[in-house]
Structure 1
């Protein structure tokens, strides 16, 4: 039995049913007042494998850190991530990805979709919308063209010398509840001329590359339970790479933790009344 559970059992054994009801009501009221009084802040960063900043587009190749990957037909690219440890739970608010695309984005992509799922299970389409210019029909999907993390370089140089903008796409208000310490897959599919997922070599990126394992994933819309694991070293590039992604959200407290926090708030309120 955890310490929290033992504490709650002791409370239950020492107070009457009527008092428990009174305490619970007061605690909930205190917790609600506390929550309402707090300023609304952006969801914290839970996972960071963002854009690189160093050795970006070196033509010589040996020091190049960035690359892009796409798949044709019914296939699309993605990667994986894991947040926290076993026993924890999290609610994902946003997933941010980047692609090497034409500006405006609708020159490349007519429709875009985010797929998500637990490793070993079939993916689900969790967000989708139509692209018009750099806007989206889905208010929870936003597109913008950004610079690399160095704050200076704003284009990606392709292998054939082509130059492309760095399209940032944010899928927001996802409300995805996940288990800590578990691997989850994500993938982005864009039709017309495809979404080119931005990836980088972790050792050369110059930025945090959380969860980098040197591999990316290919999924298939015709079988969302199938996945191909690809090491790009020797498969289209001279280095391994991971698709860049950022995830924001929040930890979900356990019920016992919430109850103890409410009791603590109630105790503080009572102590203040006594001092008054």
Structure 2
């Protein structure tokens, strides 16, 4: 399945795009400790509209963008962290690559839609995204059509966790939607959607694969710990004096 939430792929006027969330874990999980991760690659999958399999992504989309930012709750502003112009199946950004996906048992095509026709899936890889602290993050991918019209819509590929065949980390059977489009510097978190009853008969999550390596853990500086310890000692001393004179 795939979701676009009625986006205007042309990038003009109001638009809505689909996305989801993921969590960068804490390793120390100690008070005031913060773990930092280098996200060196994110992979998403998209469906470029239509049922043909013999076209290139650049035939339909001129720009693709990835948005990524820490979840701050309602109305979170999510910045664009990567964008690329598309020609054929190539981009003008060395950190953004496009790969047509094929089923191993059905070369040349990929995704079979509910109507039985095969639809091309495109794997989009975004590299070298930078250092991020532990926590929950919102993401979305979107494309601007070559004609500037809302069609074809950009659909982000999604899966039902129970039917995927492999464990789906962090799945919650909900996806997220955002105000915005690929041509903007930032989008705004709008809410969560259960696709069961909202366009489909199953719940789903937008598919993403995050590649990250732990780079450091920030802990309180020794001077801060010393001052905190002195404060505790001073409090205990004051309590003892109070008992002596009471």
- TM-score, normalized by length of structure 2? 0.70
Pairing partner for 1:232 from 192, 195, 214: 195
Check conservation: 1:115, 1:124, Cα contact below 8 A.
yes
Structure 1, gaps ≥5 residues long: 1-66, 257-276
Check conservation: 2:67, 2:187, Cα contact below 8 A.
no
Q: 1: CA distance between counterparts of 2:121 and 2:153?
A: 14
Q: 1: CA distance between counterparts of 2:169 and 2:99?
A: 23
What SS does the corresponding residue of 1:229 show, helix, strand or coil?
strand
Q: 2: CA distance between counterparts of 1:147 and 1:84?
A: 32
Q: 2: CA distance between counterparts of 1:69 and 1:253?
A: 36
Q: 1: CA distance between counterparts of 2:188 and 2:65?
A: 17
Check conservation: 1:198, 1:244, Cα contact below 8 A.
yes
Which structure 2 residues correspond to residues 153-164 of structure 1 after superposition, within 5 A? 153=106, 154-164=109-119
1:186 alignment counterpart: 139
Q: 2: CA distance between counterparts of 1:97 and 1:164?
A: 16
Check conservation: 1:109, 1:194, Cα contact below 8 A.
no
Report the aligned-residue RMSD: 1.9
Check conservation: 1:95, 1:172, Cα contact below 8 A.
yes
Pairwise CA distance, 1:152: 3.0
Q: Which has the higher helix share?
A: 1
1:139 alignment counterpart: 94
Structure 2, gaps ≥5 residues long: 9-14, 146-151, 220-246
Mapped pair 1:128 → 2:63: no
Check conservation: 1:233, 1:239, Cα contact below 8 A.
yes
Pairwise CA distance, 1:185: 0.4
Pairwise CA distance, 1:196: 1.2
Pairwise CA distance, 1:72: 1.8
2:66 alignment counterpart: 114
Mapped pair 1:80 → 2:14: no
Pairing partner for 1:198 from 150, 157, 168: 157
Pairwise CA distance, 1:255: 6.2
Farther-moved stretch of structure 1 (107-116 vs 220-229): 220-229
Which structure 2 residues correspond to residues 1-276 of structure 1 after superposition, within 5 A? 67-70=1-4, 71-73=6-8, 74-85=15-26, 86=29, 87-101=34-48, 103-120=55-72, 121-147=76-102, 151-153=104-106, 154-175=109-130, 177-180=131-134, 182-192=135-145, 193-221=152-180, 224-254=187-217
Pairwise CA distance, 1:142: 0.2
Provide runs of 4+ in structure 1 moved above 6 Å.
none
What SS does the corresponding residue of 2:216 show, helix, strand or coil?
coil
1:226–1:155: structure 2 CA closer, same or farther, 3 Å change rule? same
Check conservation: 2:46, 2:123, Cα contact below 8 A.
yes
Q: Which has the higher strand share?
A: 2
- TM-score, normalized by length of structure 1? 0.63
